[in-house]
Structure 1
Amino acid sequence: MRHCTLVLLVCCLLFIRDTLGQRIIHYTQSDELVEMGSYARYFEDTSNQLTHQQVSRLPDSRYADSPDKILNLGFTPSRIWLKWDIHNQTNEPVYAVLEAQDIDYIDAYVVGEDTTYFVETGVLRPFANRYFGTNSIVLYLGKAPKQLYIALKDMNGLVLPIKLGTVRPVMHKVYRETMINAFVIGVMALIALFSFFMYVSLRDRTFLLYALHVVFSALTLLTFEGYLFDLLWRDMPYMNNGINSSLIRLGTLLTSIAFSAAFLNISAVRPYMVRAYQGVALLAIGVVVAKIMGIQRAEMAFNVIVLVTFLSFLGVGFWLYRRGFRPARFYLLGWGIYIVEILLLILTLFNVISFDHVFTYYGYQIGAVCQATLLTFAVMDRINTLRDGIRQAQELALKRLEENEQLMARHNEVLEKQLQRSESSPTDDLQQLLRMIRDEREKVKKIPIPTLEGVLLFTAEDIVRIEAMGSYSTVHFTNRKEMVASRSIAEFEQVLADHDLFFKVHKSHMVNLNYIMKYRRGEGGTLVMTDGSEVDVARRVKPDFLKKMGLEN
């Protein structure tokens, strides 16, 4: 009896040891995804030579337990082998979905009762090796998997969220991520097109630099999510060798420096900072070259350069905002959110924080779309600020011009009075001189026409007629061109009260009397202008018009 009790106790202890020692995934709910990271054990193959058969024969003591839900293996030149023990308690096949799409080499070895196979995949392997033809790598484990071995090797930081589930939750997750990424890329594409259109329209290079920055940011996201491989070069995995990714990220950094320098006008407010940013750009180029040559630490150095550069943008923007540069507020918001998300991503690569919440998992998407949207507001606000400055300068110039015209008019009046006093009955020559003075006074008198872009000045000789258009007006010129003015015809009537050449013949029309080619009699009558247009004369103003034109008889 004592012997049986001892045997039973030993069996219980062995069972407890095995249960605690083995981190078995018991998958029970077919509509859920299970995080696999906390169940993983890993082994570092420093030789990079072990095969999957050799690794599968290693004792459990060679493996170390993963401390996190999200596998974060840091920067290492070794190949990392991961091992899981899986018990599927549903009647459906299960799958493992790897949510990091930019890992260079992924070797998977599945051991199960109904399926056992080995597959080589990753971004440097043919796209056809993937079980599903999507940017996310999905491994088929069968209905009764026992062990799953995955080997990872990448020149960048190894961060691998991986989940287990049946086909429905797996495909739902892939679909949801595709929709989120499509939305982000769509927003960035629209912003890039809008910025390029504004550059073509206004010839402001700030819009061009911003459009290029948004394009490179979108390409960075497409690279991280594996869409460039999926959409552009499925048959050319060598295109994912890290060079393209590094060059795209370098382009994102360089365009951000060029855009920020132009937007904040750093060359004018802090010229020495332009040289400092040029030095940062050269340093970043050198680090990327080192990374392409295979120096492992270059990736970490590049991330530090990016973070320090973006933080400097915040510092300069805040300084300018304190000095009254209004557009810097949206600039600060855009870069602030973007930098916070980039900082979170970098901290996950250094294993400081976890990768299992929305602000790190979708960090780049959140930062990119917020930055693109808010910086668009910043650029437009900058344009409005510049327009306000131009408008104020034009108003000041217009005020000075009006003062000069008033001074010239007073001088002409004094000259007329002196000429009239010099001879009580003016001769023909004197009358001709007086007419010339009046004509010249009309010629130099400018008519201000406000538009959405500012205030433009024209002489009376340039304008044929003014046509009402609600609270706006359409000004028709002698060259058969027209322009919409942000002033009603009633306001034009007040402005042109001192101009004898203009007459309001209808509630919706003012005409220049010098450009009337023909008058047709009628209830009110019709005017034929030199530009070929016909303008009706209102019955109530017909007597005054005929008197003005000397056509009373």
Structure 2
Amino acid sequence: MRFFIFWFGFCASVSLFAQQRFVYRSSEELQNVEPFTYFLIDSSKTLTFNQLRQLPDKAFTQNTKSFLNFGNTEYPIWLRVDVENSSNEALFLTQELHDVRLLDVYVFDKNDSLRTWQTGAMRPFGTHFLKRSNTVFDIGKAPKRVYLRIQNTSVYVPLKMGTIQAVSNYLHKYDLLYGAIYGVLLALMFYNLFVFLVVRDRVFLYYFFYILTSGYIIFKADNHHHEFIFKQIPNFSSDINSSSVITLFFIILFANAYLRMKELTPKFFWTLVVLWCIGLVLLPFEWLPYRGWVNDVFQLLVISIMLVLLGASIYIHFLGFKHARYFVLAFGFYIYGVVNVLLGFMGIVSMNNLRSAYIYQICSVLEAIFFAFAVAYRFNTYRKEAKDAQEIALKRSQEHEALLQKNSQLLAEKLQMEQSLQSASNHKDFDQLLQQIKSDSQPIKKISIPTVEGVILFPEQDINRLEAMGSYCTIYLTDHKKITTSKPMAHFEQMIDERQFMRIHKSHIVNLDNVTRYIRGEGGSVEMKDKSVVPVSRRMKNELLQRLAIETPAV
């Protein structure tokens, strides 16, 4: 009995101290190597491969997790994997961190023959075994030990091994995923560029540039720019912080132009400006010697900006702007993707399958799709407003035509009566009536309003007020309708009758005939026939009161 206990303890101790070995068995899918990996952090940054080979095995630390993640670090990481191939096929090693700066691979086979590769984003693209962004290495049929040296700003190492069939299956799924991602982004990008050229609304232009820069971040993060564009220019393969700052600039412009954040939520808007400026200040560190805290701060900054944008969208939605719901969903998906990536880097969630490894890219596309719903909603709103305005203009035109016909009939009748009139007094009455008929027959003054479907000639008298929205202008009509145009308010101010209209605020022009009440205050405000209340600036208060024939209150 004692012998069996001793033998069991001996075997257990041997298995405990024995080096873990990855044993490959035939499979159609890539197999995860990370649980069988040992690592060494080179804090001196000077350790060479020959020096590493002289170190005892106990100098390496066994990885006890199902993944390899070293977070943001400035130190090179050495990995070691002992391999046993139980199949008769050649094995391939894949390292899925596409934008790793420097990657050296050393493979010993059972005959102690050495094969080496030196690749990475900071080296010419021709050093890749396969001429694509995925780093794949042919380690042969009888690999014994594999060493990897990885140097990157953020070291998460998805390490897998399999046959050429398994690699092909994986790359097929990878290509389908990225084909869908780039297809959606390109379709959205060119569609919104086309819409901008038609309607000249800057919201669509900002969205076009946001998709362009956001797509480039995905393109760069997965090293496709190194694969297709800058094959021999490794300096373009540094961090993506500069691309992120440009993308954040356009997303803030887009959100502000669409949601009117500066006007409706000024605190959120200026918070975004401050956070973006901090990101701008951090940019020079991208070309200086690496400091881990810079990436930590920048990642926190990106999440903070997205949270502020999400908060502003929710607030504006509760103000009654229904279209803000698309921004809530878009920013929500983006934050979900970023948080999943950060949790993966911290080792809290697994990133060992295609969906979890590329959750950021998937959520970025979902974000772009919801933004597309938002701009489509805006475009449909433009079309509806243009249709309503066109109907009102047509109705007024028909009413005016009927009035002209009626006046023409009256004029013909009075001309016949003239022949029977003899007295001077009757001639005088007739002349007055004729003058009134001619006055009533004057054509209605119209202004031209550009819309998505053309230019509408709209009766001036049916305009209730105009409101400036940056480089746009919203024209409110008398039938509780409105139309938004890409022309600024100053464009229409030159066209309207200054005797009937007055600018009472830097952002408002009102039709004085439709003012029903003046509300006292520092500048005060006016109530229109449609019950809307429009603020009056202090500078324009006295002139407005004079034109409305309201006695100016004594000071």
Q: Specify the TM-score bucket, using the shorter chain as the normaliser.
A: 0.7 to 0.9
Please tell me whether the aligned partners of residues 391 and 455 of structure 1 are also in contact (alpha carbons under 8 angstroms): no
Q: Per-residue CA shift, 1:390-438, capped at 9, x if unaligned?
A: 55556566667777777777777777767766663699x9999999998
- The 1:446–1:7 alpha-carbon spacing in structure 2 relative to 1, beyond 3 Å, is closer
The alpha-carbon deviation at position 146 of structure 1 amounts to: 1.1
The structure-2 alpha-carbon separation of the partners of 1:320 and 1:407, relative to structure 1 and needing over 3 Å to count, comes to farther
* Secondary structure in structure 2 of the residue aligned to 1:147: strand
1:183 and 2:180 aligned: yes
For residues 419 and 62 of structure 2, the distance between their equivalents in structure 1, rounded to whole angstroms, comes to 116
| Kept in 1: contact 2:218–2:361 (CA 8 A) | yes
User: Residue 246 of structure 1 aligns with which residue?
Assistant: 241
Residue 120 of structure 1 pairs with residue 115 of structure 2: no
Partners of 2:248 and 2:218 in 1: CA distance: 14
Q: What displacement does 1:241 show?
A: 2.9
Question: Aligned residue for 2:314?
Answer: 318
TM-score normalized by structure 1? 0.72
**Contact 2:182–2:215 (Cα < 8 Å) also in 1:** yes
The Cα RMSD (Å) is 3.9
Matching residue within 342, 352, 358 for 1:356: 352
2:94–2:135: 8 Å Cα contact kept in structure 1? yes
Which letter maps to 2:193? F
State the distance in 1 between where 2:51 and 2:458 align. 88
Letter in 2 for 1:453: E
Structure 2 partner of 1:66: 63
What's the TM-score once normalised by structure 2's chain length?
0.72
Helix, strand or coil at the partner of 2:271? helix
Q: 1:384 aligns with which of 380, 383, 395?
A: 380
Partner of 1:453: 453
- Which range moved further: 35-44 or 231-240? 231-240
Deviations 1:471-501 (A, max 9, x none): xxxxxxxxxxxxxxxxxxxxxxxxxxxxxxx
Shift of 1:258: 1.2
| C-alpha contact (below 8 Å) 2:193/2:205 kept by paired residues | yes
Residue number in structure 2 paired with 1:297: 293
CA contact (8 A) 1:405 1:445 kept: no
Correspondence for 1:444: 443
* Higher alpha-carbon deviation: 313-322 or 384-393: 384-393
1:213 equivalent in structure 2? 210
Over 3 Å counting, the alpha-carbon distance change for 1:452 and 1:234 in structure 2 is closer
Measured in 2, the distance between the counterparts of 1:45 and 1:123 equals 20
- Structure 2's unaligned 5+ residue stretches are 460-555
Out of 152, 155, 170, the position equivalent to 1:154 is 152
Q: Which moved more, 1:260-269 or 1:351-360?
A: 351-360
Contact 2:38 2:80 (C-alpha < 8 Å) held by counterparts: yes
Whether the 8 Å CA contact 1:188–1:369 is kept in 2: the answer is yes
Q: CA deviation at 1:113?
A: 1.7
Q: 1:426, 1:232 → 2: CA distance?
A: 95
Cα 1:256–1:59, aligned 2, differ >3 Å: closer, same or farther? same
After superposition, what is the alpha-carbon deviation per residue over 1:118-153, rounded to whole angstroms, capped at 9, x for unaligned?
222211123222222221111221111111111111
Residues 27-426 of structure 1 mapped to structure 2, 5 A cutoff: 27-113=24-110, 115-155=113-153, 157-242=154-239, 245-293=240-288, 294-389=290-385, 391-392=387-388, 424=420
Q: Which moved more, 1:176-185 or 1:388-397?
A: 388-397
Give the deviation of 1:76 after TM superposition.
1.5
Pick closer, same or farther for the CA change 1:413–1:320 going to 2, 3 Å. farther
User: Which structure has the bigger radius of gyration?
Assistant: 1
Which residue identity lines up with residue 443 of structure 2 in the other structure? V
**Distance in 2 between residues matched to 1:148 and 1:225, nearest whole Å:** 24
Q: Letter of the aligned partner of 2:184 in structure 1?
A: V
**What fraction of aligned residue pairs are identical, expressed as a percent?**
25
Compared CA separation, residues 96 and 358, structure 1 to 2 (3 A): closer
Q: Deviations over 1:172-229 (max 9, x none)?
A: 2123212311221121112111111111111111111111110111111111111110
3-state SS, counterpart of residue 444 of structure 1: coil
Distance, in Å, in 1 between the alignment partners of 2:56 and 2:23 is 22
For 1:311, the aligned partner's letter is: L
Cα offset, 1:285, TM superposition: 0.8
Structure 1 pair 61/205, CA: closer, same or farther in 2 (3 Å)?
same
Distance of aligned partners of 1:13 and 1:144 in 2 relative to their CA distance in 1, 3 Å threshold: farther
Aligned to 1:534: none
SS in 1 for 2:172: helix
Task: State the Cα distance separating 1:389 from its structure 2 match.
Answer: 4.3
Shift of 1:332: 2.1
Cα drift, residue 251 of structure 1:
1.4
CA–CA distance in structure 2, aligned partners of residues 102 and 342 of structure 1: 17
SS of 1:110's equivalent in the other structure is strand
| Offset at residue 31 of structure 1 (A) | 2.5
The alpha carbon displacement at 1:24 in A equals: 1.1
Check whether the contact 2:242–2:283 (CA below 8 A) recurs between aligned residues: yes
From the superposition, tell whether residues 384 and 60 of structure 1 become closer, same or farther in structure 2 (CA, over 3 Å). same
Is this contact kept in 2: 1:341–1:359, CA < 8 A?
Answer: no
Q: Which stretch shows the higher mean deviation, 246-255 or 381-390? A: 381-390
C-alpha distance 15-344 of structure 1, shift in aligned 2 (>3 A): closer
The residue number in structure 2 matching 1:511 is none
Query: Which has the higher mean CA deviation after the structures are superposed, 220-229 or 397-406?
Result: 397-406
- Cα distance in 2, alignment partners of residues 458 and 111 from structure 1: 82
Does the aligned pair in 2 maintain the 1:409–1:441 contact within 8 Å? Answer: no
Structure 1 segments (4+ residues) deviating >4 Å: 5-12, 389-423, 429-443
Q: Secondary structure at the match of 2:123?
A: coil
The DSSP-based 3-state class of the residue aligned with 2:350 is: coil
Contact 1:40 1:65 in 2 (8 A): yes
Distance 1:426 1:419, change over 3 A: farther
Question: What SS class does the counterpart of residue 292 from structure 2 fall into?
Answer: coil
Q: Secondary structure at the match of 2:276?
A: helix
Tell me the CA shift for residue 67 of structure 1.
3.1
- CA distance in structure 2 between the aligned counterparts of 1:14 and 1:271, rounded to whole angstroms: 70
> Structure 1 88/339 Cα, relative in aligned 2: closer, same or farther at 3 Å?
same
Deviation for aligned residue 1:84:
1.0
Distance 1:288 1:385, change over 3 A: same
State the aligned residue count: 452
Tell me, yes or no, if the aligned pair for 1:96 and 1:163 is still in contact at 8 Å: yes
Whether 1:21 aligns to 2:21 is no
8 Å Cα contact 1:74/1:351 also seen in 2: no
Distance change >3 Å, CA 388–CA 30, structure 1 → 2:
closer
The CA deviation at 1:61 is: 2.2
- CA distance in 1 between partners of 2:422 and 2:133 (Å): 95
Distance (whole Å) between structure 2 residues aligned to residue 456 and residue 78 of structure 1: 66
1:464 corresponds to: none
Gaps of 5+ in 1: 460-553
Do the aligned residues in 1 keep the contact of 2:404 with 2:441 (CA within 8 Å)?
no
In the alignment, the residues of structure 2 paired with residue 31 and residue 12 of structure 1 have an alpha-carbon distance, to the nearest angstrom, of 38
> Partner of 2:420: helix, strand, or coil?
coil
